[in-house]
Amino acid sequence: MTTSYKIILNPAAGNGNGLKSLPQIEQLLRQQNVTFDLVRTDRPGHGVELTRQAVKDGYGVIVAAGGDGTTNEILNGLMLCKLDGMLIPPMGVLCAGRGNDFAGSLGLPEDLAGGVRSLMAGNRRVVDIGRVVGGEVPQGRYFCNCVGVGFDAITTIEVHKLPRWGGYMAFMVGVLKTVFLYNKAPLARIEFDGTVVTQRSLLISIMNGRRLGGGFIMAPDSVPDDGFFDLCIAEQMSSFEVIKMIPHFTKGDQATQSTIKTGRAAKISIVAQDGPLPAQTDGEIISVNGTRLDVEVLPRQLEVIGVPV
């Protein structure tokens, strides 16, 4: 039986790179004689709706064509179908976004030609996903790659103000802007698997994947199907100290620094003792004024197609 592919394209991904990629995606798929239908999202949340319909329509593979935000919407559509008792197909990813961090963390090709070849190769891996509750998502939201509290959430906001750049360069500029904008971290109580840390935390990264921003290695030892998140918690630092830390994050050796705590956990609760908890998940802001976030790993929930063996 021929596998049918539903391609869900976000034309706004990567500041319009999704739309620019459309002809190439269609050409590459036709060259491979792929049976596919392609639809475009036209508003936030539309990818969730299109995914749920694609599952009901019986597509064999659902492919997110965009960035991490697009992938996040397809994931949430799949998981909502699963909650309804439906069997869900595997998910594929064609990279057309800024960071493409979920794909990069799994070793999926980040060029379109390589992405299509990997889809056709058909290698599959069942991976963990996460669920976060709090802030603007009291009902909960699933995520592929990460939840970030503090510095990287503010950086995400700043990156969205830089429409001409994408990927690592945009994130680096956002980081440098945030260094001077975000200089008072909230006092927060972080509880995970029997450990409690109460401190002013400049950054709290809860990683299911390995990286953020196209090149910041937040969790170098992360494994996508081990049933745990990898944590990276940074104490309050001066602007100068943050700048000195940047090379460590790009190399992934930040755990060697005294201001960094790391750990592994299946459940994490973060409660602000003063000030709000700005937070993002998979590059989308989920908390601005919230004061509590609860995060848990859901082991081996999502089958991803195209992962190298």
| Arithmetic mean of pLDDT, 138-164 | 82
Question: Average pLDDT in the 233-240 region?
Answer: 89
| Distance, CA of 81 to CA of 183 (rounded, Å) | 42
For residue 257, what is the DSSP state?
A: S
Q: Is residue 164 predicted with pLDDT exceeding 60?
A: no
Give the model's confidence band at 160: pLDDT under 50 very low, under 70 low, under 90 confident, else very high.
low
Domains of the chain listed by start with CATH number: 4-122 (3.40.50.10330), 132-300 (2.60.200.40)
Short-list 255, 232, 231, 240, CA closest to 183: 240
State both tokens at 147. 């939840």
Closest by alpha carbon to 155, among 137, 168, 164?
168
Residues sharing a CB contact under 8 Å with residue 249, sequence separation 6 or more, in sequence order: 216, 217, 218
pLDDT of residue 283: 86
Task: Report pLDDT for 238.
Answer: 86
Q: Residue 292, CB half-sphere, CA atoms under 13 Å: how many?
A: 6
Strands (E), 88-168: 91-95, 124-134, 137-143, 146-150
At 251-292, the pLDDT tens digits run 999 999 999 999 999 999 999 998 889 999 998 999 988 999
**pTM for this prediction:** 0.92
Confidence of residue 308 (pLDDT cuts 50, 70, 90): confident
Nearest to 155 by CA among 134, 172, 135, 136: 172
pLDDT of 203 strictly over 70: yes
Percent of the chain with pLDDT over 70: 91
pLDDT tens track for 134-146? 999 999 999 999 9
pLDDT for 66-95, tens place per residue? Answer: 999 999 999 999 999 999 999 999 999 999
CA distance 170 to 168: 6
Strands (E), 144-250: 146-150, 187-192, 195-207, 211-212, 216-217, 229-235
175's enclosing H/E stretch is helix 167-181
Q: Which two tokens stand for residue 62?
A: 């659902």
pLDDT in tens, 104-122: 999 999 999 999 999 999 9
| Nearest alpha carbon to residue 80 among 141, 10, 127, 145 | 141
80: its two tokens? 């909502």
List, in sequence order, every residue forming a beta bridge with 147; answer none if it has no partner: 206, 281
Distance from C-alpha of 184 to C-alpha of 195, rounded to nearest angstrom: 24
With tokens 């790009």, the residue in question is 250
Whether pLDDT at 166 is above 90: no
The closest of 71, 31, 23 to 51, measured between CA atoms, is: 71
